[in-house]
Structure 1
Amino acid sequence: MKTKKFIYALLFVSGMVLGQNHISLSKFPHDKIMVIAHRADWREAPENSVMAVKRAIEKGVNMVEIDLALTKDSVLVLMHDNTIDRTTTGKGKPSDYTLEEIKKFYLKDGLGVPTQMRIPTLDEILDTTQGEIFINLDKAFDYFDLVYPVLKKRNLFDEVLFKGTATYEEFNRKYRAIKNDIHYMPIVRLANHEGWAKINDYMNHYKVYGFELTLGSDESHMINFKEIQKSGARVWVNSLWPQQSAGHHDDLVLENPDAYEWFVKNNINSIQTDRPKELIDFLKRKKLYSPVK
């Protein structure tokens, strides 16, 4: 009897822990706007660093966008550029170094000043994000086969969003074996004359999580985002720079706290931003914010 009670108690506690730690992309409310921090919260800490992710979590950000690269010994690390020159004290490509070698360099902050922080591995980032914040993987299309087993081991497929610029045919040819296990978001460059043909090709063959749409510097390439939302897919637009969001960029919020109203009016429900605090403040006032858990 005592043994049974102990087992029941253990199962109960385990269930509570799992419940507390579980977050789900599938269950994130469609009528709330998802806040994505570009390269994590790089204004508070070096871009693509563990600390930048922690700062995003503290702010209540829903998702961090991170960039992947591969070392000489095939370890996935975070790095946006083709070289480590701009963001670290080192020089050259990530693939020029083993993990042990690349860990000797220090990350620089947004002003180019060296810090005491090192380039993180994907595993180190997942140790921080698991159960706390969603991840979007950028510059990672060629590494999906390497990321997949890492996420499978941790049971994190519902916390990570993959993406890429490929057509459906290219995506299906390369990742047919894993495509139904992951959340995937095609990038559609409306200003480069991509549009409904690419969108419909995906929607007719595959359940995408959403579409990342780049608009150009004005509204001449806009399409009806409401039609995309009706399909169940999220509509993602970057507010980072004028040329990505028809001129409606982050820095406008410094003078106008309602600058993000344009995104709401245009049926956009995922925004990648360089100013997560200001965006969250706006969404809370409009009752359009939801925490991840």
Structure 2
Amino acid sequence: MVAGICGCSSRNHLLINNLSNYLQYSSHKTPIISAHRGGGTYAGYPENCLESFGYLARQMPVVIECDISITKDSILLMMHDDTYERTSTGTGKVSEQTWTYAQTLFLEDHRGVATKYRIPTLDEVLKWGNGKVIYTLDVKKDVPYRWVVEAVQNAKAENYAAIITYTATQAELVHRLDRRLMISVTIRNREEYDRLHAAGIPDNRMIAFVGTREPPADLYEFLHKKKIMTILGTLGNLDGMAEARGDGTYRRFVENGADVLSTDRPLEAGRALNLIR
């Protein structure tokens, strides 16, 4: 058995023995919800926040897509933007402030309402996630991939953390740093797959992000034949389509070939796919 979910005091435990096997395509697998920026679209629950991760994980098995930035004194912390204003009580650029300053801030939800929650470090996130969620780690500019890989290794998180890359060069670097890691790669067409293949990335280490619009059916078919799971970014227009036309739209995305839905509406998508427990 590769993975299982068991209810325990209202919390879902995600038990994964081998992430490569768990994220390998099979026509029999249940679709997966990925929470863009770790949630952050529900009142009182900010993005990139441990409490938000837990709020979602208590309700369904979930992938947490979250963002890694770096402070002036080289601490890896969870923040999407270059600056603090949008998501916290802070001001200024993250890279120009110390971790000491970051610790004084409170996170704000999507309405701009301050919460009691603090900005976590990458180390704290990796420690918390074991047995609870899968992570896809989005490495922001100026953050060395080597440091993120080392943090995953130090936390022994290889079986629940994958690294997001955007180019074949980045994917090759991550694979060279640790050949055990799963890598989220962008494959919107055959040419992008060919570049990754030429860079030496094995099929069984790829999760294919196919973009934020539905790709041609033959791309899904091509990737599935290679047992590569696909991530469709419904965040943005496709989430808006589902909200306007009905959440059953998420089922159509899966029927068309998406294995993972990366969404700003994880609970709505989860309910539509009967994943909420």
- Contact 2:149/2:174 (CA < 8 Å) preserved in 1? no
TM-score (norm 2): 0.82
- Whether the aligned pair in 1 keeps the contact of 2:186 and 2:192 (CA below 8 Å) is no
Count of aligned pairs: 254
| Secondary structure class of the residue paired with 2:254 | helix
Q: In the alignment, what sits opposite 1:71?
A: 71
Aligned to 2:32: 34
Deviation of 1:170 (Å): 5.0
Aligned to 2:3: none
Matches within 5 A, 1:61-140: 61-140=61-140
Structure 1: any 5+ residue segments left out of the alignment?
1-19, 243-247
CA displacement at 1:41 relative to structure 2: 2.3
Contact 1:37 1:274 in 2 (8 A): yes
Q: CA distance change for structure 1 residues 220 and 39 in 2, over 3 Å: closer, same or farther?
A: closer
- 2:177 is the counterpart of 1:178: yes
Query: Contact between 2:190 and 2:219, CA under 8 Å: does it hold in 1?
Result: no
Question: Where in structure 2 are the equivalents of 1:95-244 lying within 5 Å?
Answer: 95-140=95-140, 142-167=143-168, 169=169, 171-172=171-172, 174-175=173-174, 177-188=176-187, 190=188, 195-203=189-197, 205-207=200-202, 208-216=205-213, 223-242=218-237
Q: Give me the identity figure in percent.
A: 23
Q: Which is greater in Rg?
A: 1
Alpha-carbon distance in 2 for matches of 1:257, 1:122: 33
Cα root mean square deviation, aligned: 2.5
Deviation of the 1:223 alpha carbon = 4.8
Alignment CA distance shift 1:257-1:86 (3 Å): closer
Deviation per residue, 1:122-145 (Å, 9 max, x gap): 122123211110001113474321
Q: 1:202 to 1:179 in 2, by over 3 A?
A: farther
In structure 2, how many angstroms separate the alpha carbons of the residues matched to 1:276 and 1:125? Answer: 19
Find the aligned partners of 1:68 and 1:235 in 2 and give their Cα distance: 23
- Cα 1:151–1:83 change in 2 (3 A) is same
Secondary structure of the 2:35 match is strand
Q: Output the CA distance in 2 between the equivalents of 1:127 and 1:179.
A: 19
